[in-house]
Amino acid sequence: MTFCADASRDQAESLAGTAATARTWLLLEQPGPWGAKALTQSRLDPALGRFLESAPESGVRAALIRRPGRDARLGGARRVLLAHTPPGRAWVRTALIDDPEELRALDLAALAAGDHGGFGEPHPGGPVALVCTNGRRDRCCAMLGRPLAAELAAAGHDVWETTHIGGHRFSPTLLTLPHGYAWGRMSAATARHVLAELGEGRTVVDGCRGRSCWPRPAQAAELAVRRYGADPHADALEVVDVVDTAGDDTVGTAGEPRPGRWRVTVARLDGRQHWEATVAEKATLPASPASCGAAALPQSRMEVLAVRPLLPASAD
């Protein structure tokens, strides 16, 4: 059997623009085993799981978390993390709840817009690290993710195992909060470096898949601007415009979708500088599986064709 992470690594598949998209994350502590569709295939009430599965319709992405190790305790209070990720407006809130059903009272649309409604308390300390470890969903996540989570925990980082943050073939994968940056193919040393830099307010481009609050083309564009030499501060840049330049003719004569193309404007958060990036969707070849056991298919990738600085807007 070919492991998806090996196939992706062997062909040096690009990581940029592959992060799961979510402006707000809702994370519920759920010890014990997780199924492939963990929200409805765990010891969590399936009806509540279906409610959480619908959260993306409001702009919120939900996942289950647990501390590294095999602690299968049930009962008692559960930790909940809420995180909003756009630059300049990012936050993490945390609370202990006695009954997961309390989550039904959350206003998901408000959370997606960045209004936590006073839920919980501000999360103290440095970045929160989430490592995908759900082996029922993908073998690579278990084989590669669990050791990484354990090493980060042993090093004293605030780390949780999580059910799914997208991109099995980039295992081990790491998502950090509050910024929502995702990384792939992490070693323990590289992950520790990423977390140390984030603790100082800086992000790391190498191995980064993108910031989850942006769509995929914008993720790739922002990383390309950072490579261009922009400020390394994690909240230095924002995406201010994404224009689909493929037009309406996005379907070929055979009925197959044509690759996309975008013009993305990235700016410093203070507005002092803008960049324009041209991004094209291409296929990664040779074909490879998106996850273990899946058919080998061409995988979509975001390629930044050009980055150019724009003249700063003139002051009135």
Model confidence pLDDT, tens digit, residues 57-105: 889 999 999 999 865 455 679 999 999 999 999 999 999 999 999 999 9
Q: Are residues 272 and 233 in the same domain?
A: yes
Could you tell me what percent of the chain has a pLDDT over 70? 92
8 Å CB contact between 302 and 217? yes
Per the structure, how many domains does the chain have?
2
Quote the tokens at residue 115.
């209004």
What's the CA gap between 48 and 101, in Å, rounded? 7
193 and 246 within one domain = no
3-state secondary structure of 160: strand
Q: Is the pLDDT of residue 12 over 50?
A: yes
131 CB contacts (<8 Å, ≥6 apart)?
68, 145, 146, 148, 149, 152, 159, 160, 161, 162, 172, 173, 174
User: Please, where are the H alpha helices in 38-107?
Assistant: 46-53
Share of the chain above pLDDT 90, in %: 69
The pTM of this model reads: 0.91
Mean pLDDT (whole number) for 102-126 = 94
167 shares its domain with 306: no
Please indicate, yes or no, if residue 129 is contained in any of the structural domains. yes
Given 199, 231, 251, the domain boundary residue is 199
pLDDT of residue 262: 97
Task: Kindly state the average pLDDT of the residues 260-273.
Answer: 94
- pLDDT for 128 beyond 90: yes
> Does residue 89 sit in the same domain as residue 236?
no
Q: Is the pLDDT of residue 185 over 90?
A: yes
Position 248 scores a pLDDT of 52
| 55 and 183, same domain (yes or no) | yes
Helices (H), the chain: 4-10, 46-53, 108-112, 139-140, 146-154, 188-199, 216-228
Tell me which residue has tokens 């997780």.
Answer: 34
Residue 282 has pLDDT above 80, yes or no: yes
Q: What is the mean pLDDT of the chain?
A: 90
Domain that holds residue 167: 4-199
Closest residue by Cα to residue 134 from 147, 152, 146: 146
- Both 175 and 149 in one domain: the answer is yes
Cα 145 → chain centroid? 15
**Confidence label for 133 from pLDDT (cuts 50, 70 and 90):** very high
- The answer as to whether 271 is a domain residue is yes
Whether 224 and 274 map to the same domain: the answer is: yes
Which tens digit of pLDDT belongs to each residue from 193-234? 999 999 999 999 999 999 999 999 999 999 999 998 778 999
